[in-house]
Amino acid sequence: MLRRDKWLIRLRWYAILGLFSGVILLKFIELGPPSSLNAMAIAGFILVGLNLMYLTYASAQKQFGMSSLVILLNLQMVMDLFLLTVLIYLTGSAESPLSFFYVFHIILASIIFPGGFSYLYSLLVVILYSGLLLIEQSSMVEHICFFNDFHLMNDSRVTIGIWFIFVVTMMVSAYLAQNVTERHRRVRDKLQAANLKLQEINETKTTFFRYASHEMKAPIATIQSTLMVIEDILGTKADERVINMLNRAIGRTSETIGMLKDLADLTYGNFQEQQQFETLDLRSLLIGLVTDAKPNSDRKSQTLIFNSADIRFDYSGDVNALGKIFTNLISNAIRYTQESGNIQVSLEKVDLNYVVKVSDDGQGIPVSEQVNIFKEFYRTPTAKKMISEGTGLGLAIVMRMVELHGGDIQVDSQEGRGSTFTVQLPFEEDL
């Protein structure tokens, strides 16, 4: 805003220079009554005084704050329009070509102020100009015959003068429009550069995740393999405490491997070469995943069913990513639903979306926690209480994979009454 203020002040100096040059030129070519030209010069000096005041204020702006600067900018614009109206009056009102200059004041207002300010200024211009014409018509003020009763076009000085004002209006309008475009371009370039930088940072982060998880996973996998061999050889020969210790160590290495795997999954799709979109039947995919999950739900005597119309649901997606989405949701439902509970997976077509719902009648998620469940490393206190292991990355991965497909995921849950996770996957009609 301060930069715009200083720019407006600088433009006003050019306008003042133009005004004094005009007055001198008019005196030189003897066009216009001397009293009008003198009054125009006085208006010029008033403008010099005002602009010096604006400049002083702009230099001290920090002490006054943003809102007072906005008020000052409005005051400047109103004063400018008022003085322009006075100049139009001094140069013949309706005859005066200076009325063209209203145009770029409106453009200026649209550049400087946000929202619909330019419409307000258009209204102000209409009021000032109409008011001027009206008070002249009602003889409240005397009309100034700037052009000596000549028919305008008979005097080449008048024609040239009007032509000149027209040219200035066009040039200034073009300058202002160009200025706006230029600023817009600069902002866009800056945003593009910032975006590129962010992408680079993201890729560096992804590369780091990828290599770090691989570098860490390989030795941990070897440690676990070694522990399993030791456990296998010791069998029942060793002290029970040693066997328990070994089992715990194997469990902890499994957990660590799981977390590293999840971290790698979180960055899945960041590299374009990783994404493998292909046309598939979403229904077959879900049936396969539900079948895979069945032994786990059976172990808890849960009912796991799949519902959908018996038709193909052709969809262009990444099989690995879709597998992760629904495997995660189904295994969560199994994990956090009590024994003998019910889990239902359904698929339907709604407009241009495939809607997959994974519902359970388990513990549910309190409303206050629902906003957090898709955050990385977040686990609800209930989830932690029910199952101690877990990285809290599962739903963050699900969300990432859904986004990869341009889709959306929502949760609808009531504490003690179960949860429904709804995944919407948009598709193109011609598939």
Partner 1 sequence: MAKKVLIIDDDFDLVEAMRITLEAAGYDVIDAQDGEKGLEKIKSESPDLIILDVMMSSMDEGFHVAYKIREDADIKDTPIVMLTAVGNQTGFQFDPGKDADFLPVDAFIEKPVNPKKLVDVVHQNIKV
The reply on whether position 324 binds partner 1 by CB under 8 A is yes
The reply on whether position 373 binds partner 1 by CB under 8 A is no
Question: Smallest distance, Å, CB 406 to partner 1?
Answer: 20
**Two structure tokens written together for 276:** 């493998």
Nearer to partner 1 (CB atom), residue 39 or residue 223: 223
Candidates 212, 218, 245, 387; binder of partner 1 (CB under 8 A) is 218
Cβ atoms of 336 and 383 closer than 8 Å? yes
The reply on whether position 275 binds partner 1 by CB under 8 A is no
Of the listed pieces 54-62, 157-165, 220-228, 378-386, which binds partner 1 according to CB under 8 A?
220-228
Candidates 320, 331, 370, 382; binder of partner 1 (CB under 8 A) is 320
Question: Smallest distance, Å, CB 229 to partner 1?
Answer: 4
- Closest to 406 in 3D by CA, of 322, 314, 332: 322
CA distances from residue 164 to 101, 113, 158 in whole angstroms, order as listed: 12, 29, 10
Candidates 27, 261, 294, 349; binder of partner 1 (CB under 8 A) is 261
Nearer to partner 1 (CB atom), residue 170 or residue 218: 218
Place of tokens 């102000």: 124
DSSP letter string, 247-313: HHHHHHHHHHHHHHHHHHHHTTTSSGGG--EEEEEHHHHHHHHHHHHHHHHHHTT-EEEEEE-SS--
Beta strand 303-308 with 342-350 is parallel
Question: Smallest distance, Å, CB 412 to partner 1?
Answer: 28
Nearer to partner 1 (CB atom), residue 31 or residue 264: 264
Candidates 221, 246, 249, 280; binder of partner 1 (CB under 8 A) is 221
Distance CA 421, CA 426 (A): 16
Distance CA 31, CA 165 (A): 15
Sign of CA dihedral 168, 171, 174, 179: negative
- Closest to 297 in 3D by CA, of 382, 360, 251: 360
Output Rg (C-alpha) for the chain, integer angstroms: 38
Which amino acid belongs to residue 344? Q
Question: Smallest distance, Å, CB 268 to partner 1?
Answer: 7
What is the pattern of x (binds partner 1, CB under 8 A) and - over residues 222-251?
xxxxx-xx--xx------------------
Distance CA 385, CA 272 (A): 39
The reply on whether position 253 binds partner 1 by CB under 8 A is yes
Candidates 104, 121, 268, 313; binder of partner 1 (CB under 8 A) is 268
The reply on whether position 326 binds partner 1 by CB under 8 A is no
The reply on whether position 214 binds partner 1 by CB under 8 A is yes
How many residues sit in the footprint of partner 1 (CB under 8 A)? 27
Torsion-angle region of residue 416: left (phi > 0), alpha (psi -120 to 50) or beta? left
The reply on whether position 206 binds partner 1 by CB under 8 A is no
Question: Smallest distance, Å, CB 350 to partner 1?
Answer: 28
Question: Smallest distance, Å, CB 220 to partner 1?
Answer: 8
- Site of interaction with partner 1 (CB under 8 A): 213-214, 217-218, 220-226, 228-229, 232-233, 253-254, 257, 261, 264-265, 268, 274, 320-321, 323-324
